[in-house]
Structure 1
Amino acid sequence: MDSNKKEALIFTSMMCFCMVVFMSFYNVIMVNGVSSRLFADVAAGLLPALAVALFCDIVVVGRIAKGLAFRIVKPSAPKIRKVLTISCFMVCGMVILMSLYGTLAHYGFGDNFFRHYFSVLGLNFICALPLQLIVVGPLTRFLFTRMFPVRTAAPGL
C-alpha cells in the first residue's frame, strides 16, 4: 500500500487507530456490558492502548508478520494473497501482545493472570480476525488510496 516511510507510518496509524477503537469497544462491552459509561470507559483507555499498539506494530509485530508472510507467499502471488497473509499474521501477533497489555492493565499479574489472559486472548482473536479482514482492513485501504492515489510515471520517462 505504502510507497515511502511517511505513507507507511500513516497507513499503520490509521489501521491501528481503527482496530484499537473497535477492539476497545468490544472489550469494554465484554467486561462491563453496554452501559451509560461505555464511551467514557473506552475514551479513558484509548490513548494508552493506541500508543502500545503502535509501538507493538511498528517495532515488533509488523516486521515478524511480513517476514513470515513472505516466507509462505511467493513474490509472484496475487496481491490479495499477500495482503491476507500479512493481515492474518498481524492479527495473531497483535492479539497476543494487546491481550497481554489489556490483561495486565485491567487485572494485573495476580493469581488468576493466566486464566484471564487466555480467556481474553481467545475472545479477542475471535473478534479481531474477522474485524480486520472484513471491516477495518478494506476500509483503511480504501481511505488510504483516496488520500494517496497511486502515482504513475509520465509516458516516456
Structure 2
Amino acid sequence: MPETRKESWQFGFMMCFGMVLVMTLYNLYINDMLSTITFTEGTFNFLTAFVIAFMLDMFVVSPYAKKTAGKAVGHTGNKVYMILAVSTCMVIGMAFFMSIYGLITAYMHTGFQSGSILLDYLNVFGKNFVMALPLQIVVMGPLVRYLFTNFIKTNAEAKEV
C-alpha cells in the first residue's frame, strides 16, 4: 500500500487514529467508565494513548511485524495473505505494548485488581486482543486501505501529473 515514507506515516496515522479511538471507547466501556469520565479526561486519555501508539507503531512494532509477516507468508505473491499476516502481527505487537500502557493507567486510577501483575496483564491483553484483531481485519484495515487508496494515493498521483 504505502510506497514512500510520507505515505507510510499517513497510513499509520490513519490506522492508529481509528484503532486507538475505538479501543479507547472499548476499554472505557468494559471498565464501566464511560459514564464516570469527563469529556476532557477522555480526550486526554485518547490523545495520550494515540501518541504512544503512533510512536510504537512507526518505530517498534511495524518494522518487526512486516519482517515477521514476510517470513511467514514467504514469496507466495498473494497480497491478501500478506495483508492478513501484517495485520495479525501488528495487532499482536500493539496489543502487547498498549496493554502495558492500559495496565499502568488502570493501576493509577483503581489500583491492583488481583494479587498478580501478570494475571492482570494477561486479562487486559486478552480483552484487548479479542477486540483488536477482528476490528483490524474486518473494519479498520479495509476502511483505512479504502480511504488511503481513494483519497491519499489519488491526491499524490494527481499532484505528480
Shorter-normalised TM range: 0.7 to 0.9
Moved more, 76-85 or 19-28: 76-85
Alignment of 1:105-144 (within 5 A): 105-108=105-108, 112-144=116-148
Match of 2:95 in 1: 95
Match of 1:154 in 2: none
Q: 1:29–1:38: 8 Å Cα contact kept in structure 2?
A: no
Q: 1:28–1:41: 8 Å Cα contact kept in structure 2?
A: no
Could you tell me how far 1:146 is from its partner in structure 2? 1.1
Could you tell me how far 1:91 is from its partner in structure 2? 0.3
Amino acid in structure 2 at the alignment position of 1:2:
P
Could you tell me how far 1:113 is from its partner in structure 2? 2.5
Query: For residues 36 and 119 of structure 2, what CA distance do their matches in structure 1 show?
Result: 28
Query: For residues 132 and 74 of structure 2, what CA distance do their matches in structure 1 show?
Result: 26
Q: 1:28–1:38: 8 Å Cα contact kept in structure 2?
A: no
Unmatched 5+ stretches in structure 2 = none
Unmatched 5+ stretches in structure 1 = 152-157
For the aligned residue pairs, the C-alpha RMSD in angstroms reads: 2.1
**What do the CA deviations read for 1:64-119 (whole angstroms, capped 9, x no partner)?**
11111111112342111100000000000000000001101221596542222111
Match of 2:104 in 1: 104
Q: 1:25–1:38: 8 Å Cα contact kept in structure 2?
A: no
Could you tell me how far 1:33 is from its partner in structure 2? 5.2
Instruction: Tell me the TM-score normalised to structure 2 length.
Output: 0.85
Moved more, 6-15 or 114-123: 114-123
Moved more, 31-40 or 115-124: 31-40
Residue 81, structure 1, aligned to residue 81, structure 2:
yes
Match of 1:27 in 2: 27
Instruction: Tell me the TM-score normalised to structure 1 length.
Output: 0.88
Match of 1:46 in 2: 46
Amino acid in structure 2 at the alignment position of 1:114:
L
Match of 2:7 in 1: 7
Match of 1:62 in 2: 62
Q: 1:34 to 1:49 in 2, by over 3 A?
A: closer
Query: For residues 17 and 98 of structure 1, what CA distance do their matches in structure 2 show?
Result: 14
Larger proportion of helix: 2
Query: For residues 23 and 47 of structure 1, what CA distance do their matches in structure 2 show?
Result: 12
Query: For residues 118 and 126 of structure 2, what CA distance do their matches in structure 1 show?
Result: 12
Moved more, 106-115 or 62-71: 106-115
SS in 1 for 2:74: coil
